[in-house]
Amino acid sequence: MGVNKITVVGGGNTGITTAFLLMLKDLGDIVVIDLPQFTNTVKGKTLDIFEAAPLLGSGACVVGTGDYRDTAASDLVVITAGLPRKPGMTRNDLVKANAEVIKSVVTEAVKYSPDAVILVLTNPVEIITHLAYKYSGLPRLKVLGQAGVLDGARFRTFVADDLNVKSEDVTTLVFGVHGDDMLPMTRISAVNSVPLENLVSPERLEELVRRTKGGGAEIVNLLGTGSAYFAPAAALTAMASSILRHENRLFSTVTNLDGEYGYRDVALNVPAVLGRGGIERIIDLPLTPAEKAVVDKSAAEVKGLLAAYV
């Protein structure tokens, strides 16, 4: 197998940070594409990353472009393009604008890279991932979204900080949607196999869950303009590594469901193993009635937004 080729769509903070981290992990050659009017800007940013590569032990070639022909034969297309959230905006406010963006992006990307796996970041990610699948014509398990990896990382960070333990020892999964109705699975969360519920009081655990649910909004409000990009880029890079290196890591992944967990024609966060083909398999984890009720509500809301705005 030759060198992987990765396209990152969107040359903003998240896209450029993702390109830098992909280079740092030496996952393949990278093309960052943005709108034609931003071609020189994205070329300048990617040249800067390319010149950093030899100092960081990476052999990756990194280029910027405004022409999808330069993305041809990509193994992975990472989509970060879209309107970012601003203070006071909900993720749902982004639906109409970003639904229009994704149709153009996916159509062009697949034209030149028909065998690529597509990894979506653009919010609201459950809706945009589902639309990307519909517009792409690709098998559903080759079009996936990032949200649970980021939300899980936020939860792990807050738990580790609260308990004064290493965050890498904290494990959790997030089900459902990326937002206020997400379901961090506290029942199966642990610190080195010690159940979290044995380490944290119910009241404190509820506070940590609440902060996780509002993690993105907290950063948006602090920044005033723009939204998080370092942690989202790190989450994309972890997923890209599992796909391109066939690491078969299990992540909470926005997945286009076709009967799993009782849902169809909707994309939601569920545990899945990622490898060269995208989603290699979906993990069927039994949910309690209370947990299932939360995910049912999320699924209904996502479907409602699809019907209302798209």
Catalytic residues: 178
Inter-residue contact 94 to 309 (CB < 8 Å): no
How many residues appear in the chain?
A: 310
Q: Give me the sign of the Cα torsion angle 133, 175, 93, 12.
A: negative
* Alpha-carbon separation of residue 270 from 182, 207, 304 (angstroms): 11, 23, 20
* Alpha-carbon separation of residue 174 from 74, 148, 192, 256, 258 (angstroms): 30, 5, 18, 16, 19
C-alpha count within 13 angstroms, C-beta hemisphere, residue 33: 20
Amino acid at 43: K
Parallel, antiparallel, or unpaired for β 264-275 and 278-282?
antiparallel
Specify which residues 258 forms β-bridges with. Answer: 264
